[in-house]
Chains A and B, each alone.
Chain A
Amino acid sequence: MKRIITLTVNGEPVEGAVEPNRTLLSFLREDLGLTGAKHGCGLGDCGACTVILDGKPVNSCLVLAVQADGREVLTIEGLADNGKLHPIQEAFIETGAIQCGFCSPGMILSAKALLDESPKPTETEIRTAISGNLCRCTGYQKIVEAILAAAGTAQGKEVS
């Protein structure tokens, strides 16, 4: 039996009819066409499906769509403001923090949740905050640099 849910996604009110076992990830991707949240494992292991639910980063593959009823969801598609990229997005682009990009939406949203809580994090805080977001391409270094840069505390450490 499907259930009707109403929620706010990227600032817009959304209504949907979902089976009780549908995940928020599949609702976002399939019903709303918001494919920025990625399906990397479906088990809560990789963080590619990270979205922000009521201000907190969650693995949307582990959240049921019905659990999001009445709540507020931010996906990567909603991060830019009227076409103007968010400073974290800018920093990821500039620093070279994106390779294949499959982890990037989740990584950027985890970074956003961190910077909202703690605007001037240390490198260790950043590494801890993104430790649930796996990236196989970058070795994380440029991601950490990007988040530091976005926080305005860049301390580049490159030799070249």
Chain B
Amino acid sequence: MSEFRVLNTRAARLDAPAKATGRAKYADDLAMPGMLYGAILQSPLAHAKILNIDTSKARKFPGIRAVVTAKEAGLVKYGVSPARYDETLYAHEKVRYVGDEIAAVAAVDPATAQEALDLIKVDYEELPAVFDMFEAMKEGAPQIHDEFPGNMNAEVHQEFGDTEAALAACDLVVHHTFLNKRQDAAFIEPHACVAVFDLDGKLTLHTSTQVPHYVMRTVAMVLQIPVGNVRVVKPYVGGGFGPKCEATPLEMSAALLARHTGKPVKITYSREQVFLHSRARHQFYAEMSLGVKQDGTMVALKNKAILDGGAYTSFGIATVYYSGSLLGGPYKLKAMKYDGQRVYTNKPACGAQRGHGGVAHRAAFEQLLDMAAEKLGFDPVEMRLRNIMTRGDMTINELDMSSLGMKECVEAVRDVSSWETKKGKLPKGKGIGMACGFFVSGAGYPIYRSDTYHSTVVIKLSEDGGIATVLTGSAEIGQGSDTTMAMIAAETLGIPLENVRVVSGDTDLAVDLGAYSSRQTLMTGHATKEAAEQLRGQIAAVLAETMGCDPSSITFRDGVVLFDGGPGNFEKLRSLYIKEHRGWTDPPGGEYLTFREAARLAYLKLGSMVGTGKYKPPRLGGSYKGAAVGTSPAYGCSAQVVEVTVDLETGQITVDRMTDAHDCGLAINKTQVEGQMHGSLSMGLGECLFEEVKFDSRGRVLNPSLGEYRIPTALDMPNVDTILVESNEPNGPYGAKEVGEGAIMPTIPAILNAVYDATGVRITELPCSSERLYMAMKAQEKK
């Protein structure tokens, strides 16, 4: 039996009742007295000089309260990484993609705001544009940013060991190229926010974001408000998956318009604007060579990446580093070389999305591994197990696998899927494939250079001792972090989960870098645990003093106090409590002193009962350039087996079965961990089989709707056999680590390896649609 009372269970989410009844408020559900509605004017051209902006007609339009352009907003440059601030809130000299923001208006209702946009007259001089990343790198291609000649946004060159020499000494070198397509995050809630200034000049921004902390800093910087005067409050968020990880023009426009009008201003993106804002998955081109020995030992990897970044940097610097660093594991290598380039094009900017930077390159690599295994005559599972890292291994690029149940994951999916009875034994048209992957459990460093804590947490006890409230800046975006923190607090305090409440996502409460890089369970979890321990210690100290015992003899469990592990002789304490509560309707009873009694007595002594916790990772990683990207206090890992049926006449693929094992250290909440795994697989399946944001010849998104851009429906997803591997991470709170992103890593290559098994065709470009597979099968026949 587990030693835990609350953790490692299937507790229902704290927020589920509010969400099941429609009570949960999301940003677009908020309304305030006198609220105005904002709208944003976006460029219809992909690349053009702005000659003149005339807003006079719009300003005079009835119902319009403010019109703002770069003139009002100023030209403060911002972005995600301070190394590449390349955006201004509104375009001034030129626009760089269809959707680039030019102006914003506030009006008494949304229809008036939209009408006023049409009255803003912008004179453009159209410039030649470039939409393809390979074209953008050529001599003479249109230049998108003067500061970045050749449209080269970022370049990375890393080498560990002597790759050429190592490859030359290998028995076999296999090569593969791979191209994915731009994916949209397609969260169901479009971005929305309401901005309001109080009379002291303090801005409150209620916004659909993953990162209240970074939004606070960016909005303060761009609008030149002291950071302390910006409060970002996150209501419930309808999914993020990465693109809600940075401050948006929507948030900054709402704030600016609120400042200009003195009224609350709400802006909501249309679904089309979500596609135009993008910041979602990049398009990656991967070129890879893997050298192996005859006995199946992997030796050296050469990896080249080109990323289509779109018009701005967004998270792109981290992305281009991740495409290299996340291949350092989970297999042992003696040498690895990585060359990555991120290129500007006249399209919406790409950013971070679930499995940040790692997904496409993982897909290429895990196929390459299968190709090597086939040539050497090894079973793909056997080939992986031969090279697998285990707990305590260090990757060649100095990522520390402090816990790693990779081998256990591989063995679990092999056994549960009955791999051995299927691999190589299925009829043509049926296939089975597998793949692995891993991901950080929280980025080792903040986005801006700082010694800041990554999380601080405050836990307060109510004066009656009955309720603990966790105050955190962390962002519940659907992944379940509020419930996770409540469970950690309840376990640590020794009280039932229903006695814990969580207030989160508010920058006035605490510091938290937010929901990205799968960091909150580990980092906010540590801070929560520390805060609860401190509070527990305070109560124990008061009890010990009254009882004249050693505080270490006191423990809390299931809402009662144990002295030396038993009920103890606590009569004195109970009499004190009853005396204090004379005439109260709810006298305590039972053979144990309750936590509530103990906490009330502590309150009489201490007044405020507050515990505080904080966390930042230790210094991590090597000393080479870019060593920070990929570092983490821990790594989660996943293995998957996928079974498919391919219609050999049409190329139609049906995913029949998926088996997924993920090592999450300790599953704080098993149901939520499974939910993250299922969601990851579904996003991976969509990217693999049909998702693709398409553009026309002038850079306009061709399919900016959830009808034309298809994501998996209930009919596309099979049931997943879901296996939790719990390795007990030494650097995680109670041994816990990530699940939100590691689980997407193997999905695409596992499907493609299964398709190969079914058809004998290697797919080198996504999506693996029936058309593409059909054409590839035809081409193969001709050979």
Contact = CB atoms under 8 A, between A and B. Distances in A.
Interface of A: 29-30, 33-46, 48, 75-77, 79-80, 85, 89, 92-96, 98-105, 108, 126-128, 130-144, 157-160
A80 B29 CA distance: 20
A41 B84 CA distance: 33
Contact of B188 (A35, A85, A103): A103
Contact of A108 (B20, B683, B707, B720): B20
A77 B678 CA distance: 28
B717 A140 contact: yes
B145 interface: no
Interface of B, helix, strand, loop or mixed by DSSP:
loop
Interface stretch (B155-163, B314-322, B325-333, B666-674): B666-674
B187 A160 contact: no
A101 B21 contact: no
Given A76-B22, A159-B721, 19 more contacts: A35-B25, A35-B26, A39-B28, A40-B188, A40-B706, A41-B190, A99-B679, A100-B238, A101-B478, A102-B239, A102-B478, A127-B715, A128-B714, A131-B713, A137-B675, A139-B678, A141-B678, A142-B675, A143-B714
Interface stretch (B8-16, B294-302, B544-552, B638-646): B8-16
Contacts, number: 195
A108 to B, nearest CB: 6
Contact of B478 (A80, A108, A137, A160): A137
A100 B187 contact: yes
Given A39-B28, A75-B22, A85-B20, A100 B678 contact: no
Contact of B236 (A45, A100, A158): A100
B532 to A, nearest CB: 24
Nearest to B720: A141
B309 to A, nearest CB: 24
Interface string B657-688: 00000000000001110110011111100000
Contacts of B518: none
B419 to A, nearest CB: 15
A131 B10 contact: no
A41 to B, nearest CB: 4
A90 B477 CA distance: 21
Interface residues of B, number: 63
Nearest to A102: B238
B576 interface: no
15 contacts: A43-B707, A45-B707, A93-B13, A96-B13, A100-B189, A102-B187, A126-B714, A127-B715, A131-B713, A136-B185, A138-B682, A139-B680, A142-B671, A143-B714, A144-B714
B15 A101 contact: yes
B516 interface: no
B74 interface: no
B237 interface: yes
Contact of B238 (A43, A79, A101, A143): A101
Interface of A, helix, strand, loop or mixed by DSSP:
loop
A47 B361 CA distance: 34
Given A36-B21, A134-B706, A142 B683 contact: no
Nearest to A21: B111
A150 B26 CA distance: 27
B480 interface: yes
A42 B271 contact: yes
B186 interface: yes
B674 A158 contact: yes
A96 B270 contact: no
Nearest to B30: A35
Nearest to B189: A102
A42 B31 CA distance: 19
Interface string B712-725: 11110101111110
B22 A98 contact: no
With a 10 A CB-CB cut-off, give which of A35, A130, A137, A159 has the most chain B CB atoms.
A137
A89 B705 CA distance: 29
With a 10 A CB-CB cut-off, give which of B15, B19, B185, B188 has the most chain A CB atoms.
B188
A93 B188 contact: no
A136 B686 CA distance: 10
A104 B707 CA distance: 19
Contacts of A127: 714-715
A58 B241 CA distance: 28
Contact of B705 (A45, A101, A139): A45
B579 interface: no
Interface in B229-268: 236-239, 241, 268
A96 B669 CA distance: 10
Contact of A136 (B18, B270, B683, B722): B683
B245 to A, nearest CB: 15
Q: Which 9 residue pairs of A and B lie closest in terms of their CB atoms, listed nearest first?
A: A36-B22, A100-B478, A102-B238, A101-B19, A139-B678, A139-B682, A76-B22, A96-B671, A35-B29
B23 interface: yes
B539 interface: no
A139 B679 contact: yes
A99 B31 CA distance: 24
B307 interface: no
With a 10 A CB-CB cut-off, give which of A103, A128, A138, A141 has the most chain B CB atoms.
A141
A29 B110 CA distance: 14
